[in-house]
Each structure stands twice: as C-alpha cells, then as structure tokens.
Amino acid sequence: MDTSGPLESIYTALAKVERGSQAAALCTVIRARGSVPRHVGSKMLVYADGRIAGTIGGGEMEARVIQAALAALAERAPQLVTHALVDPAAGDPGVCGGEVEVFVEPVQQLPTLLVIGGGHVGRAVVQLARWLDFRVALSDDRPEFCHPEAVPGADAYLPLPARDLPGAFEFNSETYIVLATRGAPLDVEALPPLLAVPHAYLGVIGSRRRWATAAKRLADLGVPAEQLARVHAPMGLELNAETPQEIAVSILAEIIQLRRGGSGGSMQAALPVLGTTSKEAAAEQRGE
C-alpha cells in the first residue's frame, strides 16, 4: 500500500468535515495495474467547492475523478471510477500504460441541530442531541444563557437575536432548527428569516394556543400559508411529557422519525401477532 502523501492531514480534514458544515468526498485508489501515477491506498479529499486535499496522481485523470466526486456529492451516492491510461486519442486521461480504479465516497456530515433558547428545555435538548451525535449549536439573545458554563455540550454558541442567525450561521439541508423560546413574540420575530434559509426541520415549542397566536400574527405580516404549514408546531411527538428532559426526548424523537422515515407509531402495534398471517394481523388491528 502506498503510504506516501499527506495522509494524516486528510484524516484530520475528514474529521473536520464530519463535524463541519461543508460536504466532501473521499477518493481512494483501490486497484492499480501497470504503470500508474499513484498506487493502491492513495487518497484525495474533494470538497463541494472543488478544493482538494491530497492527490491521486494529478493531471487529466485526477481532474476527471474530481468531477466524479462532485457528482457523487450532488447525488449523495458513491461511485466507482475506472480509467485506462493508454491512448489519449481514444479518450484516455493519460499515457502511463496502466489502469486505475478509484472508489469515490461522499462523506456523511453529522446533522446539525440549532437550538434557539437556552432555558430548561433548550439545555436538555442540547445535552440529548449531543449524546445522539448531532453537531449542536445554541443561540439565545441573552448572553448569560448562551455559553458553555450555562449550557455545556454545544459545539457553537451564538449569543444574538434569532433574526440575525442567517448572517451568522451556515444553514444547509441537514440543519434541524428547534425554537425553544420563551414566548410567541420571539417566535414571530424569528420565523420569517428562518423560513427563508435551507433546513430539514423547523419546530416551535409551546401549546396549540401559543402557536395559533403566533401563526395568525405571521399570516397578518404576509408569511404565506404554505410556509407556515411546514413548521412543526407544537413540535415533538405526543408523549404526555412534562419535565424538560422528557420534552427533549419528544422533540428529538420527532426529528429522528423525520430523518429515518418512521411512522411514530407503537412498535408493538406494527408487529403481527405470533401465529397469524399479515392479512390476519391487519384484520385484528381493524377490529374485524
């Protein structure tokens, strides 16, 4: 195995990608035959903006692998790229005489949970989300509620009003936003700019009455109904939760359900009764 090149820096960069906000694809030479610029085990990291770390040989062959890596990132699917380096006139990317096979693997970033509000529930959500391996950011317009001593465990602290977050935080399609604020007026202020940024989930804490109040005010301000319909409010699964920790479980359970495509129903209800066919089990659930 070829161990030359900046492998340590690539591994360090991989760890940063996982806990960061920019995607990348790892390109590894998995088979090499004949004369080739780099051998099995050579690695290159390709970022979504086209930057690279490491090399698998340079030249036209590497340029084509970079394009394959960008396509793999766009499709969120790995690719296997094979290039013969024999005859440029026939479209080969080189004349070395060998053949190279490269496995291109999009690196899965940790999903990002942005918690807005550092009170009792916000603190519990941060702690549980970190245990669930989310990258966690906490924001609160009260600096005393938004620092490591007050709420341990977040990866980033943003002591500023929620309306300013789009200019201070990098949102993407894997960002889950939890508004654990202290009142409907703050929700009304925060939601219009947050609805405009990329996100996978946007939830608001509180009662149905609180959300009805906020939603009416937002509608009066011109926020379209289809945007309001995308808000999970009140957020969380119905667990009859009471404590901040129980409410955090409810919220994170809804986010996991969304990410994994679950139904949110009871596992017991989803299983057929032993000794019955699936049709019989379905009939039993209908009470037939």
Rounded average pLDDT per 10-residue block, the chain, 288 residues: 51 82 87 77 90 84 90 91 61 57 88 96 97 95 96 96 94 93 95 96 96 96 95 96 97 96 83 57 54
User: Cα–Cα distance between 132 and 254 in angstroms, integer?
Assistant: 13
Amino acid at 257: Q
Pair of tokens at residue 156 = 């980033």
SS3 for 176? strand
- Residue 194 to residue 223: CA distance in whole angstroms: 12
Show the tokens assigned to 261.
């495509």
Q: What is the pLDDT of residue 83?
A: 76
Which pLDDT belongs to residue 276?
54
Give the per-residue pLDDT at 32: 82
Closest-CA residue to 83 (of 18, 151, 30, 13):
30
Helix axis angle for 244-260 and 120-131, nearest 10°, is 50
pTM above 0.75, yes or no: no
**Cα(233)–Cα(197) distance, rounded to whole angstroms?**
18
- Per the DSSP assignment, residues forming a β-bridge with 52 are 46
Beta-bridge partners for 46? 25, 52
Q: What single-letter amino acid sits at 103?
A: F
Q: How many CA atoms lie within 13 A of 259 on its CB side?
A: 18
Among positive and negative, which fits the CA dihedral 271, 272, 273, 274? Answer: negative
- Burial state string for 194-205 with b = 16 or more CB within 10 A and e = fewer than 16: bbebebbbbbbb
Domain annotation for the chain: domains and CATH numbers: 7-106 (no CATH), 112-260 (3.40.50.720)
Half-sphere exposure of 261 (CA within 13 A, CB side): 0
